[in-house]
A and B are shown apart, each in its own frame.
Chain A
Amino acid sequence: MQKNSDIQNELLIISKTIAAIPNVNVYSLPEGYFEDFSTRVLSSIKSLPSYSLHTNIKESQTYSIPVNYFDSLADEILFKIKKEKEVISLPLRNKVLRFSIAAVAIALLGLSLTAIIKHNRIMEEENNYSAYVMQEANRILISKSFEDNLNSLEEEDVVKYLQDNGLDVNAALVASLSDEKETFLKDDDFYDGETLVNYLHQLKITGSTIRK
């Protein structure tokens, strides 16, 4: 290989001996070494932990999820929650669940009254039944014993009632799993007797209306 003339001239001035040495490459290297070198380097780069930092995260989605994973996720979680609740037999006394029940307070009031009636083995004539229920409801409101009556409800009765009335039992169950201390509701007595009376007033269902 011919040397650059400037460099060759410079070399001739410094040393004629060195300038006379043929400019040949004495070393050998594996055949085809450079053919896939860039591929090997890029492969090494991609195996580095820092590689993702240098690429667009959207383009290099590292994790994959099963097809339609999110479509069935909610149902699977709720199924597990229900199953767990069956095994552990958690009491349905959690205040969060009771909040959800209190959201349909009037209807639940009727349910609790039914439970009380069943409990006391009082059988009324069918045409007197509604009047009796209203009377009991009035008594509970006046005595402010709604919470005690609510707590005495059987879990099965509550769930069945919610289902029969097209209410979201799953949502109530999920909410009931929350730690009471972690819930955001501090005024957790909002469904006491006084509040309920106020609520009934708003709905124009006063004590006198009930008595009628």
Chain B
Amino acid sequence: MPVIVDDNDLVFQFKNGINKESAFTQIIKKYQEKLYWHIRRMVVEHDDANDVLQNLFIKVWSNLDAFREDSQLYTWLYRIATNESLTFLNKQKKQTLISFSNEISNLSNKIEADSYFDGNKLEWKLQLAIQKLPEKQRAVFMLRYFEEMPYEKMSKVFNTSEGALKASYHHAVKKIEQFIINN
């Protein structure tokens, strides 16, 4: 059974060059799945999620030395994952010169193109509804709904007050509800 090492210990080992690669490998293994699914729901396709996740960890490697331990590694990683996903989507938007409405249909098309897609199932309708949300609201909904992240930690990821996040989540759920009822 693998020994669970505390995040602070892993960061300490990395910063001090003690088993640097080993410490980094443990960080990757600890967070790879959680971060992957967060990114995947944002960018939809696996290949894109893979690119974003790899870039994320490369950035973490380059910046972990400067990581301030007054914030948690966990929330720091989610913050990077969210920013990297939004940056990826914006780049994709610029490259294809698509408008916001076209971007929604672009992501919706990707969902519908999935080999397991079933438009009659509520869970797939939920995915399509999520893509209708504005980018940041989408990220807020995903962290709360799928990752079940407490508002206190979400406020560190988004650098926003807990109240603002609660309001954003509330609006997001209402919009999704409307979409599902209408479709």
Contact = CB atoms under 8 A, between A and B. Distances in A.
A24 to B, nearest CB: 5
A33 B32 CA distance: 10
Given A27-B114, A29-B46, A54-B61, A21 B123 contact: yes
Contact of B180 (A7, A17, A27): A17
Interface in A38-90: 38, 40-42, 44-45, 48, 50, 54-56
Interface string A21-42: 1111111111001100110111
Interface in B6-31: 17, 20-21, 24-25, 28-29
B28 A21 contact: no
B93 interface: no
B116 A26 contact: yes
B58 A11 contact: no
Nearest to B65: A54
Given A21-B126, A24-B123, A11 B24 contact: no
B152 interface: no
A14 interface: yes
Contact of A37 (B28, B145, B146): B28
B4 interface: no
A36 B170 CA distance: 39
Q: Which of A20, A24, A26, A48 has the most CB of B within 10 A?
A: A26
Contacts of B126: 18, 21
Q: Taking chain B's interface residues, is the majority helix, strand, or loop, or is none over half, making it mixed?
A: helix
A143 interface: no
Given A34-B33, A45-B58, A27 B40 contact: yes
Nearest to A4: B148
B40 to A, nearest CB: 6
Interface in B58-114: 58, 61-62, 65, 114
Using C-beta atoms within 8 Å of the partner chain, give the interface range for chain A: 20 to 34
B57 A41 contact: yes
B32 A38 contact: yes
Q: Taking chain A's interface residues, is the majority helix, strand, or loop, or is none over half, making it mixed?
A: loop
Nearest to A51: B61
B168 to A, nearest CB: 12
A44 B173 contact: no
13 contacts: A3-B148, A15-B176, A17-B181, A22-B123, A24-B123, A26-B123, A26-B127, A27-B114, A28-B114, A28-B115, A37-B32, A38-B28, A44-B58
Given A7-B144, A22-B122, 8 more contacts: A14-B174, A15-B173, A15-B174, A20-B122, A25-B37, A26-B121, A29-B40, A38-B32
Interface of B: 17, 20-21, 24-25, 28-29, 32-33, 36-37, 40-41, 46, 50, 53-54, 57-58, 61-62, 65, 114-117, 121-124, 126-127, 144-146, 148, 169-170, 173-174, 176-177, 180-181
Give the 6 A-B residue pairs with the shortest CB-CB distance, closest first: A38-B28, A15-B177, A14-B173, A4-B148, A41-B57, A21-B122
